[in-house]
Amino acid sequence: MPRLNRPRSLLARALLSGLAGVYFFSNVAVVHAVETAFWNQRRHAVRAQSQSSADEDKPAPLYAQLPASVSAPRDLSVVLDRVPPQTTTDLSHLGKEVVQTTDRRIQDVAKTLLPYGHIRFVRQSKKTDAPLILHIQDVHGNLEAQRNMAEMLLALARDHGVRWAGLEGASGAFATDEFKPYPDQEPVKQAAELFLKKDLIGGPEFAALSSEKPLTLWGIEDPALYKDNVAAVKESLAEKPQAEVFLASLQGTLDSVKKTLYTEDLKAFDRNQTLYDQDQRGLGEYVSALTKFNGGATAIAARFPNVNRFLSVLGEEKALRFPMWSTTVGRWWRT
């Protein structure tokens, strides 16, 4: 039996040896020659194209250049002159304030912030070398707003080299820098995510803890002035009952004057606004009532397309039969 298998073993060895030789020849021995020939062809093509394009106005296609490790192009104008001109970007979506400013830094920052917020007000210094200061409006207790604020700081740190952020309600350095030396930053980010969801930290703290770039937080409050303001708020709260009595009497006088001076339409408009301000009327009913003034729903829809979309969705919502849908789902669930 061993003698019968020997010819097959010799044949297999011969085939394997042949394949190994072919592989070595095509992938090791001559691969450098093939690559060199490839780049030589590209070199000749670029030179020929450069000579022919000197007599023609039509721009020629740009071929792949040699790798830097082989040979650097002698004249970069061959590449740079054929780069298409940069088109003018429409900045109208960034807001009127950003469009009107002459500070390019503000426009660049506005583009970075756009997915998470927008610039509403710009005050440009007369000094050309003045530093750029961004004032981000905070919405306390709102998780979505805190996430957007964190994303803004992360984008500023990543794209614009921002390394410092001043915060209200605090004084001095925050302790977020102490966690940066940890070799594994993933647990730090997970803890920051948990604290953010539980409203134990805000967006800036989350950004500082999860940023890959250094980002230092610094409380900018004056401790003495801060305590004085807290004391003033507490004193004003003690006088709240007296202020409410005064405002109630003032409101009564104002209501009597409205009955005499206001037209019927103005009375209806004022009543709708008052009910909404006092949380006695929902947003849908409030907006629907507004469409009855100033030319009606058609005129308002023409000026404010989003109002028309909102009312359309509101109408579809009212058309839904929630009790029947709830009963049907309940039966299906029990089944």
d(CA 316, CA 230) in angstroms, rounded, equals 48
The verdict on 263 and 326 lying in the same domain is yes
Residue 112 CB neighbour total at 10 angstroms? 15
* In a shared domain, residues 214 and 264: no
Asked whether the beta carbons of 164 and 218 are under 8 A apart, the reply is yes
Q: Has residue 154 got a pLDDT over 60?
A: yes
DSSP codes of every residue in 96-165: HHHHH---HHHHHHHHHHTTT---------S-TTPPP---PPP-TT-HHHHHHHHHHHHHHHHHH---EE
> How high is the mean pLDDT of the chain?
76
pLDDT of res. 151: 94
- Pull the structure tokens for residue 199: 């409203």
Q: Are residues 195 and 248 in the same domain?
A: no
Q: For residues 280 and 209, state if they share a domain.
A: no
Looking at the fold, whether 269 and 306 belong to one and the same domain comes out as yes
Mean pLDDT on 69-88: 40
**Domain stops at, among 54, 72, 95:** 54
Residue 286 lies in a domain: yes
pLDDT category at 84 given cuts 50, 70, 90 is very low
Q: How far is CA 253 from CA 117, 263, 276, in A?
A: 42, 17, 21
Q: Are residues 179 and 246 in the same domain?
A: no
> Are residues 203 and 255 part of one domain?
no
Q: Which residues does 120 contact at the CB level (< 8 Å), separation at least 6?
A: 95, 97
69 — pLDDT class (breaks 50, 70, 90):
very low
Residue 205 has pLDDT above 90, yes or no: yes
Residue 155's closest CA among 186, 110, 185, 189? 110
Percentage of residues of the chain with pLDDT beyond 70: 67
Residue 220 falls within a domain, yes or no?
A: yes
Q: Are residues 207 and 261 in the same domain?
A: no
Q: How confident is the model at residue 112 (pLDDT cuts 50, 70, 90)?
A: confident
Per-residue pLDDT at 219: 94
| Residue 3: pLDDT over 50 | no
Q: Is the pLDDT of residue 52 over 60?
A: no
Residue 126's pLDDT band (cuts 50, 70, 90): confident
Report yes or no on 45 lying in a domain: yes
Per-residue tokens: 106: 């503000």
Domain boundary among 174, 198, 224: 224
Q: Please check whether residue 265 lies inside any domain of the structure.
A: yes
Q: How confident is the model at residue 227 (pLDDT cuts 50, 70, 90)?
A: very high
pLDDT on residue 328:
61
Name the more confident of 297 and 286. Answer: 286
pLDDT at 78 over 60: no
In a domain, 40, yes or no: yes
Sign (positive or negative) of CA dihedral 179, 184, 188, 193: positive
| Section 226-254 average pLDDT | 94
Please, where are the H alpha helices in the chain? 2-24, 31-53, 77-80, 96-100, 104-113, 143-160, 186-197, 203-210, 223-238, 240-261, 264-277, 283-290, 296-303, 305-319, 322-334
Q: What is the pTM of this model?
A: 0.51
Average pLDDT over residues 98-102: 79
Instruction: Give domain status of residue 234, yes or no.
Output: no
Does residue 91 sit within a domain? Answer: no
Better-predicted residue by pLDDT, 11 or 40? 40
Q: Lowest-confidence range among 97-111, 191-205, 222-236, 254-268? A: 97-111
Q: What's residue 53's pLDDT?
A: 47
Angle between helices 143-160 and 203-210 (to 10 degrees): 40
Counted domains in the chain: 3
**Least confident segment among 69-73, 106-110, 214-218:** 69-73
Q: Are residues 275 and 323 in the same domain?
A: yes
Query: Which residue range is the domain that position 8 belongs to?
Result: 1-54
- pLDDT band, very low/low/confident/very high, at 290 (cuts 50, 70, 90): confident
259-286: average pLDDT: 92
What is the mean predicted confidence (pLDDT) over 211-224? 92
Share of the chain above pLDDT 90, in %: 37
**Domain membership flag for residue 5:** yes
